[in-house]
Amino acid sequence: MEYRKLGNTDLEVSVITFGAWAAGGWMWGGNDDKAAIEAMKVSYDLGITSIDTAPIYGQGKSEELVGQAINGIQRDKVQILTKFGMRWDDIKGQLAFKSKDNDGKDIDIYKYASRDSVIKECEDSLRRLGTDYIDLYQIHWPDATTPIAETMEALLRLKEQGKIREAGVSNYNVQQMEEAAQTINLASNQVPYSMVKRDIEKDLVPYVIEHHKAILAYSPMERGLLTGKMKPGQQFGEGDHRAGLKYFKDENINRTNEFLQKIKPIADEKDATLGQLVLRWTVEQPGITIALAGARNADQAKQNAGALNLKLSSDEINFITTELNKLQLVD
């Protein structure tokens, strides 16, 4: 496994970090708790020492499962990355969207990151995770109702108290990062990035390179699309958020699979899967520090960890990128 420091901090995390969104079940059509915990444990054994989660993932469930998975591991040998600012248990801030919890009950999700709310959320996360500090604490989405400085001041206080090691943001644009940086040193920005979603290359990537910040790429497999295992007519279970995304239209599945077949010989030559090739290409891109990869079971965890056994030459990376640039998805 490889490890990289986040920006200009001393916090070092595994280049493939375990993404625990699906572990919470919410928006993924449910999940097997026992299998999710086993996936995290197997990942750790294979060198994936970092886990990214959030309170909103299953309304606390994902964090609780992470806490169970790391129980018994020496605390300084694992890095916990979690978030705040998405409230389902209060009606303050900006309504983000309406949803249903794992029991099918209607819930309203609010973006809210006031000083008091951040402090409360941190305490709740520490309790669910069963730890006394969080390695990287990230605002989940921008909150238009709270000044960025107020949110960052709360993070500064938590850092001074030793409850968090480093502060990060998620889904922030360059302007928002610049504003946040006036109050606190940011380690990173967690944003969506994949072979079929590369818009951050225009402005965010140049910014983080210049200012020595890290990018944590989430959904690098585009929620399973880039495994090459999806076929037209793909059926999703009730509550699975992927059903309404453009990437999973039959035409886009076809076009993506045609691209993947073009690069498959590289994976075959290295005795690797397409998914492993995709992850390796992702973490080789300029400005991309970490790729978050979820796993529902131990086998998927082993597949993700194997991505970093793969070595790509500059010619191979360039070939993949050249073919990728020809791929056009329909809206």
Reply yes or no on whether 247 is catalytic.
Answer: no
| 84-104: average pLDDT | 94
Long-range own/partner contacts, residues 67-76 (CB < 8 A, 24 or more apart)? 67/128, 67/129, 67/130, 67/131, 68/37, 68/130, 69/36, 69/37, 69/40, 69/41, 69/44, 70/40, 70/44, 70/129, 70/130, 70/131, 71/130, 73/44, 75/131
| Nearest partner of 185 among 3, 2, 11, 4, judged by Cα | 11
| Residue 322 counted as domain residue | no
| Residue 194 counted as domain residue | yes
| 79-92: average pLDDT | 97
| Residue 206 counted as domain residue | yes
What single letter denotes the amino acid at residue 220?
P
Q: 3-state DSSP call for residue 301?
A: helix
| pLDDT value at residue 236 | 82
Structural domain harbouring 11: 3-225+271-312
Tell me how far apart the alpha carbons of residues 282 and 192 are, in angstroms, rounded to a whole number: 12
| Residue 31 counted as domain residue | yes
The residues, any chain, with a CB within 8 Å of residue 292's CB and separated by 6 or more, are 17, 18, 19, 52, 190, 216, 217, 218, 219, 220
Tell me how far apart the alpha carbons of residues 56 and 162 are, in angstroms, rounded to a whole number: 23
Report residue 181 as tokens: 């940086």
| Residue 56 counted as domain residue | yes
| pLDDT value at residue 287 | 98
| pLDDT value at residue 32 | 87
| Residue 130 counted as domain residue | yes
Instruction: Say how many C-beta atoms besides its own lie within 10 A of residue 209's C-beta.
Output: 12
pLDDT at 152 over 90: yes
pLDDT at 167 over 80: yes
pLDDT at 237 over 80: no
User: Which stretches does DSSP call E strand in 112-163?
Assistant: 134-139
DSSP annotation of 248 reads: G
User: What is the tens place of the pLDDT at every residue in 261-320?
Assistant: 999 999 999 999 999 999 999 999 999 999 999 999 999 999 999 998 899 999 999 999
CATH number at residue 70: 3.20.20.100
Total structural domains within the chain: 1
| pLDDT value at residue 233 | 84
| Residue 326 counted as domain residue | no
| Residue 141 counted as domain residue | yes
User: What is the tens place of the pLDDT at every residue in 170-189?
Assistant: 999 999 999 999 999 999 99
User: What is the tens place of the pLDDT at every residue in 14-48?
Assistant: 999 999 998 888 877 777 899 999 999 999 999 99
Cα–Cα distances in angstroms (integers) from residue 216 to residues 43, 51, 113, in the given order: 18, 12, 21
| Active-site residue identified among 3, 44, 57, 112 | 57
| 234-253: average pLDDT | 85
